Amino acid sequence: MDDGQSDRRCPQPGRPCSPLSLGLLQMQLILHYDETYREVKYGNMGLPDIDSKMLIGINVTPIAALLYTPVLIRFFGTKWMMFLGVGIYALFVSTNYWERYYTLVPSAVALGMAIVPLWASMGNYITRMAQKYYEYSHYKERDEQGPQQRPPRGSHAPYLLVFQTIFYSFFHLSFACAQLPMIYFLNHYLYDLNHTLSSVHSCGTNSQGILSGFNKTVLKSLPRSRNLIVVESVLMAVAFVAMLLVRPTEEIDLRSVGWGNIFQLPFKHVRDFRLRHLVPFFIYSGFEVLFACTGLALGYGVCSVGLERLAYLLVAYGLGASASSLLGLLGLWLPRQVPLLSGAGLHLLLTISLFFWAPTPRVLRHIWILYVAAILWGVGSGLNKTGLSTLLGILYEDKERQDFIFTIYHWWQAVAIFVVYLGASLPMKVRLSGLGEGLWGIRHPPSPSSGNIPSECPPWPRSPGRAPLTKGWPQTQTSRAASPPEGLSLPLAEGFTVCSLPVGHPSRLVCRWVTCSPGVGL
Partner 1 sequence: MSLGLMSWAWTAPNCTIGDSSLLPNISYYIPFCTLAPGLHLFAACSNIKNLAQALRAVPRDTEALCLQGTVTILPADAFGHFPTLQLLRLQLGAIRITSGTFQGLDQLQHLSFEHHAPCCLSLFLPPDALEPLGFLNTLSFHGYCLNHSQDVQLPISLSRLTLRHSCLTDLQELQGLFPNLVSGSSHTPSPSPRTPFLELLDLSANLQLSRVGSQALRGLQLHSLRLNGTPLNVLDLLGSGLIHLDSLYLVGTGAKKLPGNVTGYFALRALDLGRNQVWNLEDGDLLSCQSLERLSLHANGLQLLPPSFLSALPQLQRLNLSVNKLGPTLVLPGGLVSSNLRMLDLSHNELCMLPCRAFSSLPQLQELWLSGNNISNLSRESLEGLRWLKTLDLSWNQIKMLTPDWLSSLPALTSLNLLGTHLEHISGRQLQGPLKLSHLQLGSPDMMEIYPPWPPALLSLELWAEGSIVFRVPKGEPFLFLENFTLQTTFMLLHPNNATLRFPSLRHLTLRGCSTFIFSQRRVFLGLPLLEHLHFWSDHNGAGDLRLFGMPRLRVLELGDLDFLYNARSVQLEMLLKELPQLQVLALSNLNLGNLSVSSFRGLGHLRLLLLSSEWALGLDSSLQELIPQMPQYVYFSDVTFTCQCESSWVGPWATRAPNTFVYGLEKSICKANASDYSRTPLLAFLSGHCSHDSEFQAFLTSASLVLLMTFLALLSCPKWPWLHRLRTLFHAWWWKLGGQHPRNQFHYDVFISYCEQDQAWVLQELVPALEQPLPDGAGLRLCLPERDFGVGQDRMDATTASMESSRATLCVLSHQALGSPWCSLELRIATHNLVANPGTACLLLLFLEPIDRRLLHSYHRLGRWLQKEDYFDLSQGRVEWDAFCEQLRKRLRKAGRERED
Do residues 313 and 297 lie in contact, with contact meaning Cβ atoms separated by under 8 Å?
A: yes
Do residues 1 and 165 lie in contact, with contact meaning Cβ atoms separated by under 8 Å?
A: no
Q: List Cα–Cα distances, 362 to 136, 195, 199, 303, 305, in angstroms.
A: 57, 10, 10, 8, 6
DSSP for 210-241?
A: TTTT--S--BSSPPPHHHHHHHHHHHHHHHHH
Beta bridge partners of 514: 498
Q: Does 406 bind partner 1 (CB under 8 A)?
A: no
Out of 51, 232, 397, 403, which residue is the one contacting partner 1 (CB under 8 A)?
232
CA nearest neighbour of 302 among 161, 451, 182: 182
HSE-CB of 267 using CA atoms within 13 angstroms: 9
The rounded distance, in Å, linking the Cα atoms of 102 and 252 is: 38
Out of 22, 60, 91, 424, which residue is the one contacting partner 1 (CB under 8 A)?
91
Q: Determine the interface stretch with partner 1 among 202-210, 228-236, 443-451, 486-494 (rule: CB under 8 A).
A: 228-236
**Least CB distance to partner 1 at residue 272 (A):** 30
**Least CB distance to partner 1 at residue 188 (A):** 10
**Least CB distance to partner 1 at residue 184 (A):** 17
Q: Does 101 bind partner 1 (CB under 8 A)?
A: no
Beta bridge partners of 427: 208
Beta bridge partners of 498: 514
Beta bridge partners of 190: 219
Which letter does DSSP use for residue 153 in this model?
T
**Least CB distance to partner 1 at residue 70 (A):** 18
Out of 5, 145, 221, 264, which residue is the one contacting partner 1 (CB under 8 A)?
221
Do residues 61 and 112 lie in contact, with contact meaning Cβ atoms separated by under 8 Å?
A: yes
Stretch 237-256 residues interacting with partner 1 (CB under 8 A): 239-240, 243, 247-248, 251
Helices (H) and strands (E) in the chain, counts: 21, 2
Out of 43, 146, 147, 464, which residue is the one contacting partner 1 (CB under 8 A)?
43
Q: Determine the interface stretch with partner 1 among 9-17, 216-224, 286-294, 484-492 (rule: CB under 8 A).
A: 216-224
209 backbone φψ class: left, alpha, beta (φ>0; ψ -120 to 50): left
Out of 217, 353, 478, 483, which residue is the one contacting partner 1 (CB under 8 A)?
217
Q: Does 36 bind partner 1 (CB under 8 A)?
A: yes
Q: Determine the interface stretch with partner 1 among 2-10, 114-122, 154-162, 234-242 (rule: CB under 8 A).
A: 234-242
User: For partner 1, how many residues bind (rule: CB under 8 A)?
Assistant: 41
Out of 226, 449, 465, 471, which residue is the one contacting partner 1 (CB under 8 A)?
226
Q: Does 90 bind partner 1 (CB under 8 A)?
A: yes
**Least CB distance to partner 1 at residue 44 (A):** 8
Q: Does 98 bind partner 1 (CB under 8 A)?
A: yes
Which letter does DSSP use for residue 424 in this model?
G
Stretch 250-289 residues interacting with partner 1 (CB under 8 A): 251
The rounded distance, in Å, linking the Cα atoms of 458 and 274 is: 13
Residues interacting with partner 1, by CB under 8 A? 34-37, 39-41, 43, 77, 80, 83-84, 87, 90-91, 93-95, 97-98, 103, 216-217, 219-226, 229, 232-233, 236, 239-240, 243, 247-248, 251
